[in-house]
Amino acid sequence: MCGMKNAIIVSLIALGFAGFSFTKEQPGGTALKASMARGKKVYEEVCMACHQPDALGVPRMNPPLVKTKWILGDKKQLITIVLKGLKGGEIEIDGDRYDNPMPPQEDNLTDTQIADVLTYVRNSFGNKASMVTTAEVKARRKVGK
């Protein structure tokens, strides 16, 4: 019974990988590298002034982007924050709140730019998490309007 279950899981994983191999967002592959390279540029131009070159932010003003649930957790919430921005004070990490507002990026960045920069942040500065795809950003943008 147990062996059967494992076999099913293994098959499912294999199927999953097979599925991925047909898309561009293969984890660890060239798609990730390309997205991160583009995302780094977006980070440096748009995000770095507040979140800083090491992504550790500014104490109680601009939140850190390193090893926090806000970055590594729910992708939908993360994408929405970038699209819609924040008033300031919503983010609490280890008992400290971050007071500066974040300007909405929905009119400033394309879906692909947002996907790239989030993929970059989720896989840099000691972070490790799945890619964010253009399709995922597009879906959140539709929900927001």
Residues that bind other proteins (CB under 8 A): 44, 48-50, 52-54, 56, 58-62, 87-89, 95-97, 99-104, 108
* Closest to other proteins by CB, 91 or 131: 91
* Closest to other proteins by CB, 39 or 136: 39
Smallest gap from residue 93 Cβ to other proteins (A): 13
Helix (H, G, I), strand (E, B) or coil at 97: strand
Smallest gap from residue 52 Cβ to other proteins (A): 6
Amino acid at 37: A
* Closest to other proteins by CB, 87 or 145: 87
Check: CB of residue 79 under 8 Å from CB of residue 137. yes
Smallest gap from residue 96 Cβ to other proteins (A): 7
* Closest to other proteins by CB, 33 or 97: 97
Q: Which two tokens stand for residue 115?
A: 């996907």
Check: CB of residue 27 under 8 Å from CB of residue 38. no
